[in-house]
Amino acid sequence: MATNTLTPDICVIGAGSAGLTVAAAAAAFGVDVVLIEKGKMGGDCLNYGCVPSKALIAAGKAAQAHRTSEKYGVEANEPSIDFSKANAHLRSVIAAIEPHDSEERFEGLGVTVIKAEARFVDANTVEAGEVAIRARRFVIATGSSAFVPPLPGLETLPYLTNETLFELTRTPEHLLIVGGGPIGMEMAQAHRRLGAKVTVVEAARALGAADPEFASLVLDKLRAEGVAIMEGVKVKRLEKVNGGVRAFLDATRTLDASHILIAAGRVANTKGLGLEAAGIATHANGIKVDDRLRTSNKKVYAIGDVIGGQQFTHLAGAHASLVVRSLLFRLPVNHHRLVVPAVTYTDPELAHIGMQEAEAREAHGNKLKVLTAEFSGNDRALTEGQAEGKVKLLVGKGGRLVGADIVGPHAGELLAPLALMISRRLHIKALLDLTLPYPTLSEVLKRAALSYYAGAAEKPWIRRVLALLRKFG
């Protein structure tokens, strides 16, 4: 029962990427903000997701460099791996970022931080611990958690999710990963490079949301490194054996492993929020919102993973920026207009933005041009010994870039100028007009764009114009 009542301008529920952005921005403008978080400040991304996973990927990349150095004239060897030190590395990265997301920092900004579970008791009130909050506006930013499928026998096992995976301080002898999406494939490669035997079981197609041709280059690389990837295979049931797990795949096949990681997707964190009491509607994947990210209760907004759809930290941050504009400045916003990039941080990286090719063909018909370039034609990629990969640019009506895929070194970084072009509806000529430093990987983008004008030199009317101009000296 609440014994104290607060009446801030804004109450934010959830201190992950989205919630922290809203709270910090509002406080910077002198707005009274209450921030409620029942778990760790920084949310999933800092503590269990983006940060520790990328730190572990970096450790795996360092180990792999030892194995593949022969081509540079450096003696290759199988590295000696101390998994506990790899874990210490990721813990040190979290520790370095933690102060920026800490309770102390936000209280210093003027935010009232309440460490408790929040729930709506009516359309205008949230209770958190012994405090009732009646705010002008509420923002739900509670994120998502690993989806745990109802696999028979799983409940009897000490299975891993992203929330427990990074507690391991010893190399798993054999890591079985259920789910071949970005998280599953990133962790498969990282753990394989750090000495574990790894098997991925995917019911459909691994990296199924990506362009099939581009995804196949990543999967081929992982298989070459020793990751076993079983596609179109379902785990029927599980049982505990010899301190590990046995997976029954079909009538004849079983698979034994020491550890099992569930990477089968994410589910919105709505449980216990009391949404019905507040008149907040939901759908199958989370909280229902309008173009402005408002819920069916017009006093309440919802942002980030909790609304379903694409679940990225950078999208949660973009939602937060839109809500700040709407809440503080009454500016019109529409989250459906966001152009959202996606990157899978395997080696090679896999990046995408805008339309997929099939979608672009449907929208633009015969006006669509598909421009490609190989990293094997990029001088910097050749010098780095990373010449495997490809760029695909989709150019629609009016010469505007409408989609792009990259598989290759630093694909996520290379996506940045393409994201700008799509969001600003720029003509492909904008990329050609750039003077890029040599030698850089970014030149591969310009090389692909150049093919937009392929065949122009052979067009008769252009040759006639040139002949006419020559007559003037």
**Residues comprising the binding site for NAD(+)?**
179-186, 202, 265, 305
Rg (CA), the chain: 25
**Inter-residue contact 285 to 268 (CB < 8 Å):** yes
Say which residues have a Cβ less than 8 Å from residue 331's Cβ, sequence separation at least 6: 325
Say which residues have a Cβ less than 8 Å from residue 50's Cβ, sequence separation at least 6: 313
* 257 three-class SS: strand
Closest CA to 262 of 332, 316, 368, 184: 184
Alpha carbon distances (Å) from 353 to 209, 341, 366, 446: 12, 4, 21, 17
Helix and strand numbers (H, E) in the chain are 15, 25
Binding-site residues, please? Answer: 54, 142-144, 179-186, 202, 265, 305
CA distance 353 to 421: 11
Closest CA to 403 of 356, 368, 339, 446: 356
User: Amino acid identity, residue 54?
Assistant: K
Binding-site residues for FAD, please? Answer: 54, 142-144
CA distance 74 to 411: 26
Closest CA to 106 of 176, 150, 42: 42
Angle formed at CA 402 by CA 396 and CA 403, multiple of 5 degrees: 125
Alpha carbon distances (Å) from 77 to 69, 83, 194, 351: 8, 18, 14, 31
Alpha carbon distances (Å) from 292 to 31, 301, 341, 420: 20, 8, 20, 22
Supply 407's token pair. Answer: 């598989």
CA distance 449 to 421: 12
- Dihedral sign computed on CA atoms, order 393, 396, 398, 402: negative
Helical packing angle, 313-329 and 17-28, nearest 10° = 30
